Amino acid sequence: MTKICLTCKVSKSMNKAELEKVIPDWYKEIGNYSLLPPILNNNDKYNAQKTTLQIRKPDITDYEVKVDIKDKKNTWICYWAANYTDDYNKIKTAKQAYDKFQNHGLVKTDGSGKAVLTLNCPQPYSVDGITYPRHVHYCHLNKNNLWSDNIQTVIVSCDVDFKSMKKFVKDKCHLIINVLSKDSFDRCKIPGSINIPLLTFQRDDVIETIRKSLNDFNTLKKFKGKRIFETPIIVYCKDTSCKASEKMIELLIEVGFRNLLEYSEGVMGWIRKSKSDKCDLEISGGGDKKSEESEESEESEESEESKESEESDDSKKSNKSEESDDSKKSNKSEEPDDSKKSNKSKSKKSKNMFDLSSNFETVVYDNKKYQHDIKTGDILVKGTVVGEYDDDRILFKKDVSSDEESEYSSDEEEIRDELDTVKKDVDSIKYRKHKISLVCMNDITPKIYDEHFRGWGFTFWTS
């Protein structure tokens, strides 16, 4: 398991108690009166004043997670998380989930402050009636060789392999969600899965859809009531290049669902490894190029079929004249090219608007916009790193100040603001895919025009 998803809203809410320096009650119950875990208290192996620290990681199971972080340069990091469990239907208490804190390790950041935390997939757990998603805590060693009580928390998403997925499908112990379009879902899906398209995500609708779907699974009916947010869920999209499932997990966490896993190999991985021949392999959705091409090919095929049928009907109704011959030539030479260009331009716009694989976001600081690399934390201006993002602040490099030119000009800002507005409007509606056929009618006589087109209004878009 190597997948990681960062959900800033949930991470910040989980960090609130740590920022306020509140020691959890369950820590006190086990005799730990510190924000630091028991492994860092009265343990010489982790005491940098007495011992030379060494890189450590837990005994890894088949369910490994690698978490990329960025902190202070050349600094030791200690991390810990709840233990792995294969009992996905039971949410344990924090005390039970952490047990003896076996799922922990030590690592040192490199010259750029980057490090990878290697651990077993942690389980969600409950404290005082509140269930928390899978996450890992970490802290760093300060200048005095003491562990800082400035605890950080990162939400993690664990990836299911094919062997486990096959077992889950057979046992019907998880609600399996396909996040692609309805058309793609109808063509092919993992057995027993339901469809919640990412592009039509609506909070209330999603909760109700999941609640109703639980009726179809005897082992999951117990989650219908107050425990609905503890429902064990697996999310998948097309394949490992598709980021839609990762995005859906973030949205579900923000809604309140906590017991989430991802099958990153997706429907294509399932078809290949299960050797299924029941699916149409032209799967669309998830924001990749192949899906766009498959949809365009479908439309062009339908256009050809419609064209042939229309031409045969028209030839029966009227004789061909010289005028119709001229119109046929002009239609053949102009209309197909125009339609292809418009299809391609719309395809590019759609793909850019819903590009789920982007690692960048726009941040506003001192009324100026900058580009934020979510993965590394770097702040960029026109491709050049000018600083790094620290919570809600930008730490500029010594030779750079916030007064310098921001990422975008005023014209670009207006365009981006307009695009943001369009995206919000698009996200707030439900999509239905309509198949449109382009029909080339070559023999349009005055009679046919009066029957079919008189009174129509035509609108043309140019890019």
Q: What is the DSSP string of 51-118?
A: S----B-----S-EEEEEEE-STT-EEEEEEPPP-S-TT-PEEHHHHHTTT-SEEEEE--TTSEEEEE
Q: Is the pLDDT of residue 404 over 70?
A: no
CATH H-level superfamily of 8-156: Immunoglobulins (2.60.40.10)
Domain with CATH 3.40.250.10 in the chain: 162-274
Mean pLDDT value of segment 170-183? 94
Report residue 230: phi and psi, to 5°: -95, 0
For residues 231 and 183, is the Cβ–Cβ distance under 8 A? no
Strand ranges of the sheet holding 125-127, from the earlier edge strand across to the other edge? 92-93, 125-127, 130-132
Domain with CATH 2.60.40.10 in the chain: 8-156
Mean pLDDT value of segment 141-151? 92
CA 375 to chain centre: 14
Percent of the chain scored above 90 by pLDDT?
41
Gap between the Cα atoms of 407 and 366, Å rounded: 13
Q: Is the model more confident about 419 or about 184?
A: 184
Lowest pLDDT segment from 32-46, 226-240, 273-287: 273-287
In this prediction, residue 225 carries a pLDDT of 87
Gap between the Cα atoms of 417 and 330, Å rounded: 41
Give the class (CATH, top level) of 162-274.
Answer: alpha beta
Give the model confidence (pLDDT) of 235-266 as tens digits. Answer: 999 999 988 999 999 999 999 999 999 999 99
Got the DSSP string for 119-174? EE-PPPEEETTEEE-SEEEEEEB-TTS-B-S--EEEE--EEPPHHHHHHHHHHT-S
Q: Is the pLDDT of residue 282 over 60?
A: no
